Amino acid sequence: MTEKNVHHKENLVAEKGIHTDFINRMTYGEYLQLDSLLDSQKRLSGHHDEMLFIIIHQVSELWMKLILHEVGAAIASIQKDELQPAFKMLARVSKIQSQIIEAWDVLATMTPSEYMEFREKLGQASGFQSYQYRMIEFALGYKTRHVLEIYKKDPVLHERLTEALQAPSLYDVSIQALAKAGFPINPDVLNRDVTEPYEGDPSVEAAWLAVYRDVDTYWDLYQLAEKLVDLEDWLQQWRFRHMKTVERIIGFKMGTGGSSGVKYLKKVLDHRFFPELWDLRTKL
C-alpha cells in the first residue's frame, strides 16, 4: 500500500470518529470506541441492580438501531425490485428480534423489591419514549402521528420521526411489489396516505391468496410474505415478553413517564401489522 493510500485511510477513520493516528496501529477498543461505550452506564442510585436495568435497555437500543438499518435497506431493495437481498436483511431482523426477546428473561431476574429501590431515580424516563421503537413501528406500517408530541422538545429528533412517519413502510412497498407483479390492487391502497395506519383491503388479501395458491409461479413474493410473517410473529413475542416482564416486576402500577404500563402493553398485543397475511391462512 502506498503512503498516500495509508494517509487516506487514516483520514477516513478520523472522519468517522475513531481516534487513532494510524489505522494499522488501531486497537480493538479504539475501533469499537469502547471507552465511550463502557462509560455510558451512569447509575443514579447505589443499588446493585440498576446496572442490569441500564445495560438491558442500552443493548436493546443497539439492537433496534441495527433493525432500523436492516429494514431501511430492505425497503430500498424491494422498491428497486431486488427482493433477494431484502430476504437476507429481513431474516437477520428476525434473528435480532430473538435476541431482544431473550433480554427480557435476564431483566426478569430482578425482583419487584429490588426495582423499587431505584425506580424513583428514573423520574419521567420511560421505555414508552424510545424513539427507535417508534421508528420501527413506523417502518412496519403502524403510523401513530400523536406520538410525535412526545419528542417536540427536541426539534432534530422530531424532524427525524416526522420523516419516518411520511415514508412508505415495509408493507407499503410489499403491496407495491404485488401491483408490479400484475395483481389488481385497489388504487386507493396504492395511493393511500402513508402517514396513516394501514387497515387492510380485500384486493391485497386476494393477491396474497393467489401467491400462496401458486407458490411456484410467485416464489419471490411467497418468500417475501413469509419474511413479513416472521417479523410480525417475533415482534408480537417481544411485546408479550415485555408485557409479562413489566407485570412481573411492577404489576399494574402506572409506568414511569405517565404511561399506563401493563394495560397499554396488553392493548398493543391486539394490533396487526400485516393483517391479510394472517387472515388468508383461514381461507387457504
* Backbone phi, psi, residue 19, to 5°: -85, 90
Domain covering 50-283, topology: Methane Monooxygenase Hydroxylase; Chain G, domain 1 (1.20.58)
How far is the C-alpha of 276 from the C-alpha of 158, rounded, in Å? 32
- Measured at the CA of 41, the angle between CA 36 and CA 46, to 5 degrees, comes to 145
Report pTM: 0.86
What pLDDT is attached to residue 178?
98
Domain boundaries, the chain: 1-39, 50-283
How far is the C-alpha of 69 from the C-alpha of 54, rounded, in Å? 23
| Mean per-residue pLDDT pooled into runs of 10, the chain (284 residues) | 48 51 82 96 93 95 97 98 97 96 91 88 76 95 89 92 96 98 98 94 98 98 98 93 84 62 78 95 94
Residue 40 · residue 58 · CB < 8 Å: yes
Phi-psi sector, 201: left (phi>0), alpha (psi -120 to 50), beta: beta
